[in-house]
Amino acid sequence: MKPGDLILFTPDEAEEHGGEPGVGIVLNLHRSGVKALVLWSTESKGFYFPIGDLERYPDAYKLVSQ
């Protein structure tokens, strides 16, 4: 993962839980290497995303490298 990569959020249960699929762009990686600052299409500022969630929830998150 590197700045500029995209994270696709496509959970099967999104509609059941009121969530919508979304896209986030990686702005920066944290020094610890366990989280990334991501700007989601539904938000106006970046939020930290735990990188481990990509492996933990492979049906919900997909990484698209530049």
The domain limits of the chain are 6-64
Q: What is the phi-psi region of residue 33: left when phi exceeds 0, alpha when psi lies from -120 to 50, beta otherwise?
A: left
Please write the tens of the pLDDT for every residue from 15-58. Answer: 555 567 889 999 999 998 899 999 999 899 999 999 999 999 88
CATH 2.60.40 assigned to domain 6-64? The reply is: no
Other CB atoms within a 10 A radius of the CB of residue 55 amount to 8
Q: Give the contacts of 63 (CB within 8 A, at least 6 positions apart).
A: 1, 5, 6, 7, 8, 54
Q: What is the 3-state secondary structure (H, E, C) of 14-56?
A: CCCCCCCCEEEEEEEECCCCCEEEEEECCCCCCEEEECCHHHH
Residue 65 has pLDDT above 90, yes or no: yes
Quote the pTM value: 0.83
Q: What is the pLDDT of residue 66?
A: 83
Q: What is the pLDDT of residue 59?
A: 84
